[in-house]
């Protein structure tokens, strides 16, 4: 099988909740951020300088339905890099463009 043929048979992982393809996830985590604070036009402005410290656990969720799909970087990486081998058109719903 040629590489381009292989690529066409690799499908993105699906969200376990809404079955939409997951090309990326959204993530939130508590953290301590350091900003540079200045006044511009009589308003305080904040420029992010650095992340001082992450606190707690990251949570990753599906961009389609908002359900949490991973609770760690490892889980998120595994989920996003999982590819189900499936030949297009061979039995099933195809929502590919």
Query: Rule CB under 5 A: which residues touch Zn ion?
Result: 15, 17-18, 62, 64-65
Min separation Cβ 25 and Zn ion, Å: 10
**Residue with Cβ nearer Zn ion (13 or 17):** 17
**Residue with Cβ nearer Zn ion (66 or 92):** 66
Q: Which two tokens stand for residue 39?
A: 């006044």
Please tell me whether residue 23 adopts helix, strand or coil conformation.
Answer: coil
Max Cα distance, the chain (Å): 64
For 84, residues 6+ apart whose C-beta sits below 8 A from its C-beta are 10, 11, 13, 14
Min separation Cβ 41 and Zn ion, Å: 41
Min separation Cβ 21 and Zn ion, Å: 10
């Amino acid at each position: 099988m040629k590489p381009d043929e292989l690529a066409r048979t690799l499908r993105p992982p699906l969200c376990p909740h809404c079955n939409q393809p997951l090309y990326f996830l959204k993530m939130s985590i508590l953290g301590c951020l350091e900003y540079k604070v200045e006044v511009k036009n009589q308003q305080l402005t904040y420029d992010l300088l650095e992340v001082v410290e992450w606190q707690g656990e990251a949570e990753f969720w599906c961009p389609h339905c908002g359900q949490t799909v991973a609770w760690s970087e490892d889980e998120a990486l595994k989920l996003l890099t999982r590819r189900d081998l499936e030949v297009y058109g061979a039995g099933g719903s195809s929502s590919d463009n």
